Amino acid sequence: AQKITQTQPGMFVQEKEAVTLDCTYDTSDPSYGLFWYKQPSSGEMIFLIYQGSYDQQNATEGRYSLNFQKARKSANLVISASQLGDSAMYFCAMRGDSNDYKLSFGAGTTVTVRA
């Protein structure tokens, strides 16, 4: 079984500052993938960034980067230079290679960017 934990239900960040969203996971799969999704108030799910368990480098996509610490089983999302449009719910998710690649989600973190 796999489990994703996001311990921050809500966060506030000042515009143009960076914010880190915590995600820890638990799995017995030797190979797995970690994903972050953004859900704005309009409701759609937007894929942001992916990190593979065997990737040597932390993933980056524009203003999004993933602080991957495999030994600690954490995959924190860093959003740099926050913008008002970053206000949304953010979900960490994982697919493992032993269970039909099912995607398991954390409970999510709400980010509110203040002007």
Partner 1 sequence: NAGVTQTPKFQVLKTGQSMTLQCAQDMNHEYMSWYRQDPGMGLRLIHYSVGAGITDQGEVPNGYNVSRSTTEDFPLRLLSAAPSQTSVYFCASARDRLNQPQHFGDGTRLSIL
Which residues lie near partner 1 (CB under 8 A)?
A: 4, 6, 9, 31-33, 35, 37, 43-45, 47, 50, 52, 91, 93, 95-97, 100-108
| Residue closer to partner 1 (CB basis): 52 or 62 | 52
Q: CB 47: neighbour CB atoms within 10 A?
A: 11
| Residue closer to partner 1 (CB basis): 32 or 68 | 32
Local structure of residue 85 (DSSP, 8 states) = G
| Residue closer to partner 1 (CB basis): 12 or 101 | 101
Q: What is the CB-side half-sphere exposure of residue 42 using CA atoms within 13 A?
A: 6
CA gap 107, 4 in Å, rounded: 8
